[in-house]
Amino acid sequence: MAPVDHENEHPVPAYGYAARDASGHLSPFKFSRRATGETDVAFKITYCGICHSDLHFIKNEWGNASYPAVPGHELVGVVTEVGSKVTKYKVGDRVGVGCMVQSCRSCTSCAENLENYCPGMILTYGSKNLDGTITHGGYSNFMVCDEHFVIRIPDNLPFDGAAPLLCAGITVYSPLKYYGLDKPGMHVGVVGLGGLGHMAVKFAKAMGLKVTVISTSPNKKAEAMERLGADAFLVSRDTEQMQAAMGTMDGIIDTVSATHAIVPLLALVKTNGKVVLVGAPEKPLELPAFPLIMGRKLVGGSCIGGIKETQEMIDFAAKHNIVADIEVISIDYVNTAMERLLKADVKYRFVIDIANTLKP
């Protein structure tokens, strides 16, 4: 099979950073994007968040990478062109794109605004698009996307802090709503204080919940309570603390993607309590039936969110002035950022200043 000529694959030249192999090392990459179709919105990318999934992908940890791989699914920018049938956006609008750029638009999931569960969902990067080419993500200078999958970014949300909401934000917002863990006065635990975890704390507090952060790192306590506003902090390796907190939470959002024990988390929730996994450990976790049965507890999963709900989440964030805590970097720092991300050395998302640092 002939290698893809990325620069001429599509009519409009584009440039970005791509990984060429499973080392995950990113370097400048010239490619191209399709012309703006009649339902498309084209926008110049100003910022793109670095999601831990980007790292899993470029290192081919899930076995589904196609190289060269341009990651990035937390991108925001300013509309430069709209197709003739576009009604929701115009040139100059502030917009963003998250994890998906297309779905089948005809199955029951799509009809119920659950495009994220559509079997034909096309991801922003690394997926085969409708025209057979591989999608390239937001570590690039501009994006062309179907209007349906474009999100409006309200004026009062700063671009750089808003970008991570498009994946990290919706990934924790959606299960808080779906599993009914959004009623004022409820007590929710958040396991893991990274990109997802810190957003979960902010959203849960805005919903009027009591929030306890559960972490293996005692040194995150001051951050969690003083800066993020968590009400309590549990060190998961401290048996006494964990025991004292048994049966106190209505639910837990578990953002940890390393293999870990769920049994202690099941003990923390009350009867009818819910442990929701949004981090996806690769290997199965051990699940004894007794804790589920004795307390009518459940373990559920959730995967990002549909487009309608993503917009709802952004509007909720705008109303409550919620953005991610970020470290803005230039594109040429991206490989160092990835090394630091691997060690969880960031509070709490890197965001690439595309507009000012990505040059052709």
Partner 1 sequence: MATNYEDQHPNKAFGWAAHDSSGLLSPFPFSRRENGVDDVAVKILFCGVCHSDLHALKNEWGVTRYPLIPGHEVVGLVTKVGANVEKFKAGDRVGVGVIVGSCMKCEACNQDLENYCDKLIFTYNSVDWDGTNAFGGYSDSIVVHQRYVLRFPDNLPADKGAPLLCAGITVYSPMKYYGMTEPGKHLGVAGLGGLGHVAVKIGKAFGLKVTVISSSPGKEADAIDCLGADAFLPTSDPAKVQAAMGSIDYIIDTISAVHSLPLLLSLLKLNGKLVAVGLPNKPLDLPIFPLVLKRRLIGGSDFGGIKETEEMLEFCAKHGIAADVEVIKMDEINTALERLAKSDVKYRFVIDVANSVSPK
**Per CB under 8 A, 291 contacts partner 1:** yes
Residue with tokens 């401290």: 238
CB nearer to partner 1: give 8 or 272: 272
Is 332 in a helix, a strand, or coil? helix
DSSP tag of 3: P
Please give the Cα distance from 118 to 306 (Å, whole number): 10
Q: Which helix (H) or strand (E) holds 203?
A: helix 195-206
Q: Residues 169, 47, 64, CA angle at the centre, nearest 5°?
A: 65
**Per CB under 8 A, 114 contacts partner 1:** yes
**How near is the Cβ of 253 to partner 1 at its closest, in Å?**
12
List the interface residues with partner 1, window 115-154 (CB under 8 A).
Answer: 117
Please give the Cα distance from 221 to 241 (Å, whole number): 13
**How near is the Cβ of 280 to partner 1 at its closest, in Å?**
5
**Per CB under 8 A, 12 contacts partner 1:** no
**How near is the Cβ of 233 to partner 1 at its closest, in Å?**
25
**Per CB under 8 A, 63 contacts partner 1:** no
CB nearer to partner 1: give 14 or 266: 266
Stretch that binds partner 1, among 182-190, 202-210, 289-297, 340-348 (CB under 8 A): 289-297
Instruction: Report which residue type is found at 319.
Output: K
Please give the Cα distance from 20 to 1 (Å, whole number): 18
Binding residue (CB under 8 A) for partner 1 from 11, 293, 343, 360: 293
**Per CB under 8 A, 28 contacts partner 1:** no
Integer angstrom CA distances of residue 313 from 49, 102, 122, 131, 180: 17, 19, 21, 31, 15
**How near is the Cβ of 276 to partner 1 at its closest, in Å?**
8
**How near is the Cβ of 286 to partner 1 at its closest, in Å?**
4
Look up residue 220 and give its two tokens.
């995150």
Q: Which helix (H) or strand (E) holds 56?
A: helix 52-58
The answer to whether the CB of 105 falls within 8 A of the CB of 146 is: no
Q: What character string, x for contact with partner 1 (CB under 8 A) and - otherwise, covers 177-216?
A: -x--------------------------------------
Look up residue 282 and give its two tokens.
């690769």
Binding residue (CB under 8 A) for partner 1 from 111, 130, 222, 280: 280
Binding residue (CB under 8 A) for partner 1 from 32, 60, 103, 109: 109
Stretch that binds partner 1, among 50-58, 83-91, 213-221, 271-279 (CB under 8 A): 271-279
Q: What character string, x for contact with partner 1 (CB under 8 A) and - otherwise, covers 295-314?
A: xxxxxxxxx-----------
What does the DSSP assignment read for 217-280?
-GGGHHIIIIIS--SEEEETT-HHHHHHTTT-EEEEEE---S---SHHHHHHEEEEEEEEE-S-
The answer to whether the CB of 76 falls within 8 A of the CB of 163 is: yes
Binding residue (CB under 8 A) for partner 1 from 277, 317, 322, 351: 277
User: Residue numbers of the site for partner 1 (CB under 8 A)?
Assistant: 109, 114, 117, 178, 262-263, 271-272, 274, 277-281, 284-303
